[in-house]
Structure 1
Amino acid sequence: MIATLSPHRLYLLDTLRGLAALCVVFWHWQHFFYVGDDPSLFIASQQPFFAAFKGLYGHGGLAVQLFFSISGFVFFWLFARKISERSISVKRFALDRFSRLYPLHIVTFAIVAVLQMVYSSTHSNSFVYQANDAYHAFLNVFLAPAWGFESGWSFNAPIWSVSVEVLLYATFFLICLPGRFLIPLAVLLCLLGGYLYPEHYKQGSGLLCFYIGGLTYMGLDWLERHAGKARSSAMLSVACVAAWVYLLGFSDSVSTYFVMCVCFPLLIAALASIGRQWPNLLRSGALLGDISYASYLIHFPLQIVFALTSDRLGFSRTVFYQGWVMLLFFAVLIALSLLSHRFLERPAQRFLRRREATPTL
């Protein structure tokens, strides 16, 4: 039997997801210094607030793998039992995911397509991602730019992780249907992801981290049932702190396997367990989680706008080494993400789900 946590939101995980999305912006700040897809003129140490955010500039891309792990945890928590008990159909499951992901994706894809045409009309290349042709447009429209059919990065390239998640949702639904063998199947898919990574790191890291996240949920549920919630929170918190102290203080280099397979699962488990103890802790973080998808998808088109504006005003790209420019960028990004969540994503979800619920004559 698949157990389930109580139905309240885990606000600490919402906050973590929102912060992870913003971490990606630090990792992608280097985009402003690319010439085409060449970052050779980029001086990493001159980026804004480098001393404070050196780790994010160097390894912020791993926040995407954290997304996968959080998704795996949440999906096993919210949907595994419902799927196995047939209380949610494949049509309903697919519609929920489509209505959540597709509207903002197609809007940002179209905006990037236009912006790249504007950019390439005044430059000898596109901004950072170069495979902006009809074939890759087709892949993007069908949310398939990271399924292995692509020949390069294209359009709003950060969508690659969402493209992989679409495949993960399909495998997740299939392994939950029988209602048994869920753990061995999840372990098997973890091992497959580990085998594929890093050569096929998009699909490999997706499989590895999503199913590690799912196994983390099941491990937390087992631990709480046998050790109690308070003791579980204490043990997981100590283990989490120990793992991160080792990584940040005693490890000579960052092992991506250690981060993905140890640090991220312990962080998620500890925060979820603490959130179970104090359900309203960091409730304000729900908003940060709500806008995480928007901030993740909007940041690249906003970078093109900032680059075009800088060029038009006659500034050198070195202006993006200035801290005030980064602060302005984050302020605009968060404002746009709030507007997107309220006026695009939520209305689109309600509209699409209402149409499905409305009977036809």
Structure 2
Amino acid sequence: MSGTGSAKGRMAGIEILRFFSAFAVLVWHYQHFFFRSASASIEVVRDTQPLYTLLHPFYEFGWLGVNVFWTISGFIFFNRYLSKIVAREVRGGLFFLNRFSRLYPLHFVTLIAVALLQACYVRENHTFFVYPYNTPYDFFVNVIFASGWLTPYTDSFNGPVWSVSTEIVIYVAFFLLARFFRIGLVWTLLIVCLSAAAGGLLIHQQIKGSGSNIVFCAFYFFMGGAVHLLYERLRGTIEAHRAATIGACCVAYAGLFAVCAIFGGTKYLAATIVAPVSIVLLHAIEPWIPARLASPIADLGNTTYASYLIHFPLQLATVIGLQRLGMSSATVAMSPWFLAAYLVVVFLLARLVYRTLEAPAQTWLRRRLAWLGARPAAGESGTAR
């Protein structure tokens, strides 16, 4: 990874943000344990969930972690790939092999796991668990990694993967724009403005579906790219005045919280501002993060993709297990200890999955498909979901 901070090759601050974004999604999806049936859907009073006082921002708005993920991806991809694609140092084969080898193996494994577990769940409950669209066609759509944009719904099989699927479309757009148009700050800001306008229109008209997913992903991804390009332009000023930069970020947070408190209903504004401000803040303090913490933080970052993909099949397996023990997940999930166990197990299992499946599969695919002109890129493993 080409460095954008003073400590080149390190993005410990960004890894911390990725971890908390994953944490937010895990807490948001904790409501799955309160699933009753397809007709009743999920029955949960949010403020009765365990440790609600402490975790209420995640219980209420944890889904915005996806938007933050998209922004982080834009920042990292512009940092890692933009100049190399423009200079033709990275060809299409290498770029897309890196993405395929990073994302697809775990996606396929968790897809099969969910398909088998849903079959078990349906046999006992005569309905699917949480995500209802699990036809052979939906399976095919998931196999080709298109659940976020090829169907008008996203709640099929391993539902959370829809956001990764949508991001793949933006990867293609990013590569083509970098390769053939040599996009810079002006182009990137134009894309951000156009996607913001389109997204605002979709929200106003309450239009949802594959088109809106792509528009919103494009907005956050290219906004992350714009943050990278602006950071590069202001690097000298930021590095010379780190304390002032941190102060400005804190003022931005305070202003955002004040606006949200006064006007309410500003969740999209919150995600739009929090993500880039947090990236700038964490990247600015990068040199102050002790080197001895770099490896543990990288390990946290490496758990994010796995935690995102394994938490739903883990929930499904847990619910099936509890049912066979004659216990209700809705009752058990009210315990703070169960919540803590759920979070700890997800991240520990994610770390194991990364080491035993993700990283080895990634290396194997890149070696086997070397004919595409690809070669393993140093530091690739912790770059993006």
Which whole-Å CA distance do the structure 2 matches of 1:157 and 1:356 have between them? 29
User: What is residue 36 of structure 1 aligned with on the other side?
Assistant: 37
Q: Which runs of 5+ in 2 are unaligned?
A: 374-385
Query: 2:10 is matched with which residue?
Result: 9
What is the letter of the counterpart of residue 57 of structure 1? Y
Deviations 1:131-188 (A, max 9, x none): 0011111110011001142445100010011101101110111111146442233223
Q: Which segment drifts farther, 280-289 or 67-76?
A: 280-289
Matched, 1:336 2:349: yes
CA distance in 2 between counterparts of 1:278 and 1:45 reads 36
Q: Distance in 2 between matches of 1:178 and 1:281?
A: 41
User: Residues 15-40 of structure 1, C-alpha deviation per residue, up to 9 Å, x if partnerless?
Assistant: 21012112101101111112234446
Counterpart residue identity of residue 9, structure 2: H
Identity, in percent, stands at 35
Q: 1:102 is matched with which residue?
A: 104
Cα deviation, 1:225-283, whole Å, max 9, x if unaligned, reads 3x25131x333322322232333455232513322332211111111122156573841
Give 1:206's aligned amino acid: C
1:212 to 216, 219, 223: 223
Alignment of 1:156-235 (within 5 A): 156-178=158-180, 180-194=182-196, 195-196=198-199, 197-198=202-203, 199-200=207-208, 201-225=212-236, 227-231=237-241, 233-235=242-244
Give the equivalent residue in structure 1 for 2:380: none
Answer whether contact 1:158 1:297 (CA < 8 A) is retained.
Answer: yes
Matching residue of 1:82: 84
**Partner residue of 1:312 out of 293, 307, 324:** 324
After TM superposition, the structure 1 = structure 2 runs for residues 49-64 of structure 1, keeping only pairs within 5 Å, are 49-64=51-66
Scaled by the length of structure 1, the TM-score of the pair is 0.92
Letter in 2 for 1:216: V
Paired residues of 1:236 and 1:266 also in contact (CA < 8 A) = no
Summarize the Cα distance change of 1:83–1:277 in structure 2 as closer, same or farther, 3 Å threshold. farther
Cα contact 2:188–2:226 (8 A) shared by 1: yes
- Could you tell me how far 1:331 is from its partner in structure 2? 2.2
Residue 130 (structure 1) aligned to one of 123, 129, 132: 132
CA distance in 2 between counterparts of 1:203 and 1:324 reads: 38
- Aligned residue among 236, 246, 261 for 2:255: 246
Name the structure 1 match of 2:379: none
Call closer, same or farther: CA 1:249–1:282 in 2, change over 3 Å. farther
SS in 2 for 1:35: strand
Name the structure 2 match of 1:321. Answer: 334
Evaluate the alpha carbon distance shift between residue 24 and residue 215 of structure 1 in structure 2; reply closer, same or farther with a 3 A threshold. same
Q: Quick one: distance in 2 between partners of 1:308 and 1:40?
A: 16
Report the AA paired with residue 220 of structure 2: C
Q: Is the 8 A contact 1:34 1:40 kept in 2?
A: yes
Give the match for residue 352 of structure 1.
Answer: 365
CA distance in 2, matches of 1:117, 1:77: 43
CA distance in 1, matches of 2:336, 2:4: 45
1:59-98 alpha-carbon deviations (Å, 9 max, x no partner): 0000010000000000000100000000011000000000
Between the aligned partners of 1:359 and 1:152, the Cα distance in structure 2 is 32
- Residues 185-242 of structure 1, C-alpha deviation per residue, up to 9 Å, x if partnerless? 32232233321353344222211110100000111111113x25131x3333223222
1:300 counterpart residue number = 312
Counterpart CA distance in 1 for 2:181 and 2:142 is: 33
CA RMSD of aligned residues (A): 2.2
Q: In the alignment, which residue of structure 1 is the partner of 2:376?
A: none
User: What letter is aligned with 1:18?
Assistant: F
Task: State how far apart, in whole Å, the 1-side matches of 2:343 and 2:171 are.
Answer: 31
In structure 1, give the amino acid aligned to 2:22: A
Secondary structure class of the residue paired with 2:254? helix
Contact 2:17 2:278 in 1 (8 A): no
Corresponding residue number in structure 1 for 2:23: 22
Which amino acid letter does the alignment assign opposite residue 319 of structure 1? V
**Matched residue, 1:266:** 277
Deviations along 1:81-117, one digit per CA (max 9) or x if unpaired, are 0000000110000000000000000000000011111
User: Is the 1:146–1:161 contact (alpha carbons within 8 Å) kept by the matching residues of 2?
Assistant: yes
Unaligned runs of 5+ in 1: none
SS at match of 1:154: coil
Count of residue correspondences: 357
Structure 1 stretch 175-184 or stretch 215-224: which is displaced more?
Answer: 175-184
